[in-house]
Amino acid sequence: MAEGPLVHHYANRLRKVLKGKEVRVEFGIRKLKRFENSLEGLRVQDVQAHGKQFRIYFPDNRVLLVHLMMWGSWRTYGKGNAWDKPRERARLILRTRTHEVVAFSTPIVRLLTKAELERDPKWGNLGPDPLRSDFSLKTFFRLLEDQGTREIGEVLLDQQVVSGIGNILRVEILFQSRVHPRRSVESLSEDEKHEILRWIFALAKRWMKNIGKKVDWISIYRKSGKRCPRCETSIEFSRQAGRITYACPSCQRLSENP
């Protein structure tokens, strides 16, 4: 499951292999095949993560957008080495002189100009990403305050408010902030909003540092029925924004003044 920290982690690895390199691009998606020649011989300008998206930039103003959703994965192979996944699942292959970088099973591969991407109602217009250096506090609070009566547990998953947060992060951010996922945004105090932002940064960075090590930062995700590590109340779960969310009914406040 690719939440922001994993996407940034993989984007950093892809950047090392691809940035500045001349690539041959092959698509495993029929409708994109006709663009292969137009990319021939171009050098990759940069590879960036934005929220849960990978963006591979070319010098002619085009961007390859990749979103792994729940099923996709990246692999990097030394040239000539055998692949450990079936060739027919390759959706995008980038070949340099030394490596083959492959996106397998990913449902979303788009080739767009930068302007088209910015205007795209689904994939453009992303909210600030806490793992990017261009994160804007001002924009974050403005977008958050625009959400009014929407529940904060739903808003944290909205990529056009803040990008990169998936189900695990939203559950843990709200637990650490002691805010119940069912609270409306307009009911949050200034302190609570700042606390949520503090934990967005803290947990996204902690996850990224922790990749490949034992997970030591998950408190209540998928722990319904277990005791809250803070107050020992039983953790509850419910459905919100199409996903299962978890909360401690005792120490995650349902109102500003309990």
Q: Is residue 2 within the footprint of Zn ion (CB under 5 A)?
A: no
Whether 102 contacts 75, CB under 8 Å = yes
56 binds Zn ion (CB under 5 A): no
User: Of 256, 242, 248, which is closest to residue 220 (Cα–Cα)?
Assistant: 248
Tell me whether residue 42 or residue 251 sits nearer to Zn ion (CB atom): 251
- The minimum distance between CB 121 and Zn ion, in angstroms, equals 39
Distance CA 38, CA 40 (A): 6
Among the listed residues 74, 15, 16, the one whose alpha carbon sits nearest the alpha carbon of residue 48: 15
| By CB under 5 A, residue 250 contacts Zn ion | yes
Angular region, 95: left φ>0, alpha ψ -120 to 50, beta rest: beta
Rank residues 68 and 228 by Cβ distance to Zn ion and give the closer one: 228
Q: How far apart are CA 208 and CA 111, in angstroms?
A: 28
User: Stretches 48-56, 117-125, 237-245, 247-255: which one binds Zn ion (CB under 5 A)?
Assistant: 247-255
Nearer to Zn ion, 10 or 221 (CB): 221
Would you say 107 or 229 has its CB closer to Zn ion?
Answer: 229
Minimum CB distance to Zn ion, residue 155 (Å): 22
**Choices 24-32, 169-177, 208-216, 246-254; region in contact with Zn ion by CB under 5 A:** 246-254
Rule CB under 5 A: choose which of 230, 236, 237, 241 binds Zn ion: 230
Q: Which of 137, 215, 231, 254 binds Zn ion (CB under 5 A)?
A: 231
- The tokens describing 26, both together, are 């092959």
Q: Structure tokens of 70? A: 């729940």
Query: If binding is defined by CB under 5 A, does position 251 make contact with Zn ion?
Result: yes
Site string for Zn ion, 186-225 (x = CB under 5 A): ----------------------------------------
Closest contact distance (angstroms) between CB of 174 and Zn ion is 12
Report the DSSP beta bridge partners of residue 55: 48, 65
Using the minimum distance from each CB to Zn ion, give the nearer residue, 15 or 178.
178
Buried b or exposed e, range 91-125, using 16+ CB within 10 angstroms: bbbbbbeebbbbbbbbebbbbbeeebbeeeeebbe
Inter-CA distances, 256 with 8, 192, 231, Å: 34, 9, 19
DSSP state letter for 128: P
Binding of Zn ion by 254 (CB under 5 A): no
Nearer to Zn ion, 19 or 230 (CB): 230
**What residues make contact with Zn ion under the rule CB under 5 A?**
228, 230-231, 233, 248, 250-251
